[in-house]
Structure 1
Amino acid sequence: MPRTALPRLFFARNTASIPVKGLGNPTKVPLDEFVAANCPSLFKEYESPWWLFNGHLQTLYCVLGDFSKIDKVEYDRTFLRTTDGGTIGLDFTPSPSERILPNDTPIVVVLHGLTGGSHESYVRSILAPACSPVEDGGLGYRAVVVNFRGCAGVPLTTPQLYSAGTTCDLVVALMHISKLYPSAPLLGVAFSLGANVLVRYLAEEGSRSRLTSACIMACPWNLVANSSRLESNFFRRNIYSRGMAQNLTTVVQRHLDTLARFPDSPLSRAFPRFLESGEFTLANYDDMVACVAGGPYPPFPFETVLHYYAWASTHEVLADVTIPLLALNADDDPMVQVLPIDKGVDNLSPSVVFALTTGGGHLGWFEKGSYWGHSKRWVSKPVIEWLRATGKDMVISPSQARKLIEVDGYLMEEGRDTLGCQVVEGGEHIIGVEGEEGLFAGL
Structure 2
Amino acid sequence: MTSLVRWIFGLDQVPQIYFGPTAATVALRKSTRPDDTEQVSLRELVERRCPSLHDAFRPAWWLPNGHLQTVYCTIGDFSQVDKVDYERTLLRTIDGGTIGLDFAPNGSQPHIKENTPVIVVLHGLTGGSHESYVRAILAPACAPPEQGGLGYRAVVVNYRGCAGVPLTTPQLYSAGHTDDIRTALLYIASIYPEAPLLGIGFSLGANVLTRYLAQEGDQSRLMAACMIGCPWDLLANSNRLGATWLGRELYSKALGTNLKNLLRKHLATFEAHPEAEVSKRIPDLLQQSRPRLYTFDDTITCIAGGSSPPFPFRSANDYYIWASSHHVLSEVQVPCLVLNTGDDPLISVLPVDEGPEQLNPWIVFGVTKGGGHLGWFEEGSRPAQPRRWIRRPVLEWLKTMGEDVVLPERHPRPLQKKDGWIMQVGRDDIGCRVDSKGGKIIGAEGEEGLLAGL
Report the TM-score range of the alignment, normalised by the length of the smaller protein.
Answer: over 0.9
Distance 2:372 2:187 in 1: 34
Q: Is the 8 A contact 2:130 2:446 kept in 1?
A: no
Other-structure match for 1:4: 12
Distance 2:244 2:324 in 1: 21
Other-structure match for 1:312: 323
Shift in CA distance, 370/336, structure 1 to aligned 2, threshold 3 Å: farther
Distance 1:287 1:370 in 2: 44
Is residue 334 of structure 2 the alignment partner of residue 326 of structure 1?
A: no
Q: Is the 8 A contact 2:120 2:197 kept in 1?
A: yes
Amino acid at match of 1:110: V
Aligned-residue identity in percent: 53
Q: Can you list the C-alpha shifts for 1:340-362, whole angstroms capped at 9, x where unaligned?
A: 00112233110000000011000
Other-structure match for 2:422: 411
Amino acid at match of 1:11: F
Distance 2:264 2:338 in 1: 33
Q: Residue 189 of structure 1 is aligned with which of 195, 200, 204?
A: 200
Amino acid at match of 1:18: V
Distance 1:212 1:14 in 2: 20
The Cα of 1:97 is off from its aligned counterpart by: 3.8
Other-structure match for 2:223: 212
- Across the aligned residues of Structure 1 and Structure 2, the Cα RMSD in angstroms comes to 1.4
Q: Is the 8 A contact 1:65 1:373 kept in 2?
A: no
Distance 2:444 2:373 in 1: 21
The Cα of 1:268 is off from its aligned counterpart by: 0.8
Other-structure match for 1:261: 272
Other-structure match for 1:59: 70
Q: Is the 8 A contact 1:208 1:399 kept in 2?
A: yes
Q: Is the 8 A contact 1:67 1:375 kept in 2?
A: no
Shift in CA distance, 381/226, structure 1 to aligned 2, threshold 3 Å: same
Other-structure match for 2:148: 137
Is residue 325 of structure 2 the alignment partner of residue 344 of structure 1?
A: no
The Cα of 1:371 is off from its aligned counterpart by: 5.2
Please say which of residues 175-184 and 89-98 is displaced more in the overlay.
Answer: 89-98
Q: Can you list the C-alpha shifts for 1:286-306, whole angstroms capped at 9, x where unaligned?
A: 001000000000000001111
Other-structure match for 1:300: 311
Distance 1:381 1:99 in 2: 28
SS of equivalent residue, structure 1 residue 382: helix
Amino acid at match of 2:293: L
Other-structure match for 1:162: 173
Other-structure match for 1:28: 39
Other-structure match for 2:251: 240
Please say which of residues 365-374 and 262-271 is displaced more in the overlay.
Answer: 365-374
Distance 1:329 1:280 in 2: 27
Give aligned pairs, total: 443
Q: Residue 431 of structure 2 is aligned with which of 395, 420, 427?
A: 420
Distance 2:208 2:420 in 1: 27
Shift in CA distance, 296/372, structure 1 to aligned 2, threshold 3 Å: farther
SS of equivalent residue, structure 1 residue 272: helix
SS of equivalent residue, structure 2 residue 379: coil
Distance 2:315 2:438 in 1: 37
TM-score calculated relative to the size of structure 2 = 0.95
Please say which of residues 167-176 and 273-282 is displaced more in the overlay.
Answer: 273-282
Distance 1:94 1:348 in 2: 36
Shift in CA distance, 433/270, structure 1 to aligned 2, threshold 3 Å: farther
SS of equivalent residue, structure 1 residue 342: coil
Q: Can you list the C-alpha shifts for 1:185-204, whole angstroms capped at 9, x where unaligned?
A: 00001100000000000000
Unaligned runs of 5+ in 1: none
Q: Can you list the C-alpha shifts for 1:44-68, whole angstroms capped at 9, x where unaligned?
A: 1110011000000000001100000
Shift in CA distance, 279/93, structure 1 to aligned 2, threshold 3 Å: closer
Moved >4 Å (runs of 4+)? 370-373
The Cα of 1:433 is off from its aligned counterpart by: 3.9
Q: Residue 391 of structure 2 is aligned with which of 359, 365, 380?
A: 380
Amino acid at match of 1:421: C
Q: Is the 8 A contact 2:114 2:195 kept in 1?
A: yes
Amino acid at match of 1:355: G
Please say which of residues 24-33 and 255-264 is displaced more in the overlay.
Answer: 24-33
The Cα of 1:243 is off from its aligned counterpart by: 0.5
Other-structure match for 2:22: 14
Q: Is the 8 A contact 2:104 2:153 kept in 1?
A: yes
Is residue 60 of structure 2 the alignment partner of residue 45 of structure 1?
A: no
Please say which of residues 432-441 and 130-139 is displaced more in the overlay.
Answer: 432-441
TM-score calculated relative to the size of structure 1 = 0.97
Distance 2:381 2:332 in 1: 35
Q: Is the 8 A contact 1:2 1:48 kept in 2?
A: no
Distance 1:407 1:20 in 2: 39
Q: Is the 8 A contact 1:2 1:52 kept in 2?
A: no
The Cα of 1:173 is off from its aligned counterpart by: 0.5
Distance 1:428 1:25 in 2: 43
Shift in CA distance, 413/238, structure 1 to aligned 2, threshold 3 Å: same
Other-structure match for 1:147: 158
Please say which of residues 245-254 and 14-23 is displaced more in the overlay.
Answer: 14-23
Shift in CA distance, 206/197, structure 1 to aligned 2, threshold 3 Å: same
Q: Can you list the C-alpha shifts for 1:354-384, whole angstroms capped at 9, x where unaligned?
A: 0000110000000133656522001000000
Distance 1:437 1:37 in 2: 44
Q: Is the 8 A contact 2:78 2:444 kept in 1?
A: no
